[in-house]
Structure 1
Amino acid sequence: MGSASKQSAFVSELLDDPEYGTTGADDQVEFNHTCGECGGHLIPVPTKDGRTWYRCEHATHCGHSLNACSSCGIGLPVRNKRTGLSKCSCGAEYQSCPSCQDGWLVERRGRYGPFLGCVSYPRCRGKAKVSKSQR
């Protein structure tokens, strides 16, 4: 078994050559997400409770991480620059964060009531008002 985050050249060769009959994990979500901080790849890291979070492949230099989608707990919403929404592979849609490249807004509560805050808080402090249709 090889690590997706630190895959060796040997494991890559085994997976690429059909003669060996090796396969990747069937339940693993395919990923190709870019780190909004350094441009590296975001790698899925499963947790004991079945959810996932994503960390930058350059963890020692960058340290950027994101929680997975609030709805499915596995996917990572992808920003559509045209619509201003971030959509997960499970179908959930979120308003994209206005302050960072890869965050999306989730409902939070503050002393003045509900608001939308970036999923990357406190690293990103992007926010928006909750529209009346969302209440």
Structure 2
Amino acid sequence: GEELYAAYRERMIVGKCNCGGNLIMINSPKGGSFVGCTSYPDCKSTYSMPRGATVLKTKCEECGLPMISFGKPRQRACMDPKCGREGEEPPQNEVVGVCPDCGKDLIKRRGRYGDFVGCSGFPRCRYTRSLEEKQEQKSEKT
């Protein structure tokens, strides 16, 4: 029993606290989650987590705490909201042409099976093409 609990707590560690303890992810029964220090009650450091947030392996350059990814579209920010480091927007999609179905921009996107070209009018326009097909068409024109 104790070994299983220790292994579970080990898996929940997301980083080091400024006091020297470990930061662990704690899921509350109400459905939310937060990160707290294992040195509690000596250290009262806690960080609330937005719904659906994941803790990343990268560290904040300002304070050294782990970064989190959250929201739609996904944003990255420091776990500590008081840190001052603003969230980073994910890279913007590259426009590679015009949709033959609706005339809107075709955007390079990343999906489950790799990179592809899709219409910016999604979900109304569902035009997609694999990136290889798009590159083959460019080489045929030249």
TM range (shorter): 0.3 to 0.5
Instruction: Select the structure that is richer in strand.
Output: 2
Q: Could you tell me the TM-score, scaled by structure 2's length?
A: 0.40
Instruction: Select the structure that is richer in helix.
Output: 2
Structure with the bigger RCO (C-alpha within 8 Å, sep 6+) is: 1
